[in-house]
Structure 1
Amino acid sequence: MTKQNEQYDIVIHGGRVMDPESGLDAVRNVGVKGETVAIITEEAIDGKETIDATGHVVAPGFIDTHSHGQDAFAFKLKLRDGVTTPLELEAGAYPVDDFYNAFEGKAQVNYGATVSHAFGRIAAMDGVDPKGFGLYGGAINAAATDGAQWHEKTADDPEDLKKILSNVEAGLNQGALGIGVPIGYYNKITSAEIYAVYGVAKRYKTFVGSHVRYMSNIQPSGVLALMEALSDAWVQDVPLLIHHIHSTSLGRTREALELVDKARERGLNVITEAYPYDYGSSIIGADYLGPGFQQAMGMDYEDITYVKTGEKMTEQLLAKYRSGDPGGMMMMKHMKEPDVMAAMKHEGVIVGSDSMPFIDEDGNIPAGDAPFGTGQGHPRGAGCFARTLRLVREKDLCPLMTAISKMTYLPAKWLEEFAPDMKRRGRLSAGAAADITIFDPETVTDNSEPVAGKMTLASTGIPYVLVNGTIVVKDSEVLKDVYPGQPIRNAVRS
């Protein structure tokens, strides 16, 4: 029996197949068997189920390298945004086993994380167990009860440093993809400690994902912080993922991009990411919101919103929430559109949403079956990838194939050294994992806005999404009780 005469589990018929690895951009039929793309052909093929993709692009499933939203509601929004693999590579997870165990057999998407230097620090210096999810469950606030030693105390005592590095190594032994070092949230720690963390990455032959030390236009600047990360990586030959380069470099984004390009030209394995919004989000206790943030970041109190209540900050309110709810979510208007677009357009910059967990009026994560529109938080958690595609259509951001590559092949190719399973993802060819996103290039759009009731509105124009050969989004609806997600994980060491 020829491949054309076989019956496939799923056939995607008549779509514009776009594969950034091979450059294929043509109308084809795609046959899926089990978890794998079995055939891409001009010939007619039969399937147990057929999807008519006429007028639509058939692309590899989107990969998000910077997704803090790691819960069923967040995953549902990701799927509607075309994302099949949302990874937590910046803040990371600790303990790593807890993170992976939480999703086994229960995830609609593929999942994976780095080990968190920050939350390994919380465990070592504050005695708080983040239980795998540092941004969930109040670990940051719990650590504040003893003065947040993870945030305030330098590891001058060799025993403290030994505990921290031991926690990081434990996470790598449990299969973490790399080491997440979001030093921008605890920038008082010493350069010696960070250098030692990169040394662990060197020994384990893995990468560091860095939110660099400063977020500032003035000294000490985001560009200076980028230089620190590039230096540590260069000296120890450690692969480096720089998160949201425009958010930390601000008005000096072009200068920062040039530095990354030069480092890459000289042989450093470095990649960086951006998201298509000129406002960001994080925890309100972040160091960069300390005294002097106005001059450093070019914004003022009213540019900061406390997500739980929707309040615009004043000096008094910011002080209140930074001390009383340091792990609480905030949004801030601190970037300029030209800097955002420069990063998004730049060759080799991938798309990473930096999506935060959404919360309801009680400060809880919405349930997985909560309707869209429920909860509050940065709209990028719902619409980052569709927004990127809309900007391709409306603002000529870049060629469509380039945008797809930034969301699929480039991150997969960079990560495959640390997670061999990624060699099968981010591509659309025979033998690849059947993570597939089908979208209408003429209508795909984000709908989420920074307005109450609209922050978690789902993207539209993406009617079908497959994860490991299973249809998870059908006719623009996320199917219930379908959990084909697989772990994206490094080798587990004894």
Structure 2
Amino acid sequence: MRPSSLTYLATGERIADAERLRELRATDPGGLVFVSFFDEDDEDDRALLRRSLLLPDTAIATDAMPLVRPGGDVAEDGWPVPPGYRTHPRGAGSYARTFRWLVRESGALSLAEAVRRCSLLPAQILADSVPAMAGKGRVRVGADADLVLFDPETISDRATYAALAPSAGIRHVLVGGEFVVRDGGLLPDARPGRPVRSGR
């Protein structure tokens, strides 16, 4: 890794060199950064990423990163994200990217397999530690009515490191059977979600 592998969230800048990195470590030692491991424009890096995602039973899931205001302060979660705020684009685009790249563009996964890897597999991985996950990632009687209805021909990620944006092609999102996105529009006052806790 090089200093240029890091993007400093407070300003959105790629760290230019070791001198700038030393300066930031001295002035903001806890400052949040993005770490770039792969360059998707590099054919070898892209091939390695693709192979990793296509291993049998690889779950597609993301972790969270806080929203950061301009200047570097951590912000309250909210959507849509205010202009100038930053967070990792995977929080807004990982699943849509899977359907765009691995299903529609390359045909590496079937639609059903991509749905399984984005929903059922992550729930199964967590179910032993978090019993509530047994009701997630499935469409059946008694399961949580958390559903995403999307157009497989248009679903696509739009979030970038520079600007967050919701994914395209998503028509409806229901949480607990209640719309939170309807006809492609966010319903900001709908808040039916509940925390998923381990129960321990």
Alpha-carbon distance between aligned partners in 2 of 1:373 and 1:397, rounded to the nearest angstrom: 35
Q: Larger relative contact order (C-alpha < 8 A, sep ≥ 6)?
A: 1
**Aligned position for 1:438:** 149
The 1:372/1:457 distance shift into structure 2, 3 A limit, reads farther
Provide the aligned length of Structure 1 versus Structure 2.
Answer: 191
**Aligned position for 2:92:** 382
Secondary structure at the residue paired with 1:381?
Answer: helix
**Aligned position for 2:61:** 352
Contact in 2 for aligned 1:329/1:377 (Cα 8 Å): no
| CA deviation after TM superposition for structure 1 residue 328, in Å | 1.6
The 1:370/1:423 distance shift into structure 2, 3 A limit, reads closer
| CA deviation after TM superposition for structure 1 residue 354, in Å | 3.3
Gaps of 5+ in 1: 1-298
Using structure 1 for the length normalisation, give the TM-score.
0.37
Q: Which amino acid aligns with 1:459?
A: S
- Normalized per residue, the structure richer in strand is 1
Query: Radius of gyration: which is bigger?
Result: 1
Contact in 1 for aligned 2:150/2:171 (Cα 8 Å): yes
**Aligned position for 2:23:** 320
**Aligned position for 2:42:** none
| CA deviation after TM superposition for structure 1 residue 465, in Å | 0.6
Contact in 2 for aligned 1:373/1:457 (Cα 8 Å): no
The 1:390/1:478 distance shift into structure 2, 3 A limit, reads same
Gaps of 5+ in 2: 39-44
Is 1:482 the counterpart of 2:184? The answer is no
Q: Which amino acid aligns with 2:149?
A: I
**Aligned position for 2:11:** 309
Secondary structure at the residue paired with 1:487?
Answer: coil
- Normalized per residue, the structure richer in helix is 1
CA deviation string 1:127-178 (max 9, x = no partner)? xxxxxxxxxxxxxxxxxxxxxxxxxxxxxxxxxxxxxxxxxxxxxxxxxxxx
For residues 181-260 of structure 1, the aligned pairs below 5 Å read none
| CA deviation after TM superposition for structure 1 residue 370, in Å | 5.0
Secondary structure at the residue paired with 1:328?
Answer: coil
**Aligned position for 1:420:** 131
Q: Which amino acid aligns with 1:349?
A: T
| CA deviation after TM superposition for structure 1 residue 390, in Å | 0.4
Percent identity of equivalent pairs: 35
Using structure 2 for the length normalisation, give the TM-score.
0.85
Q: Which amino acid aligns with 2:191?
A: Y
Alpha-carbon distance between aligned partners in 2 of 1:321 and 1:424, rounded to the nearest angstrom: 45
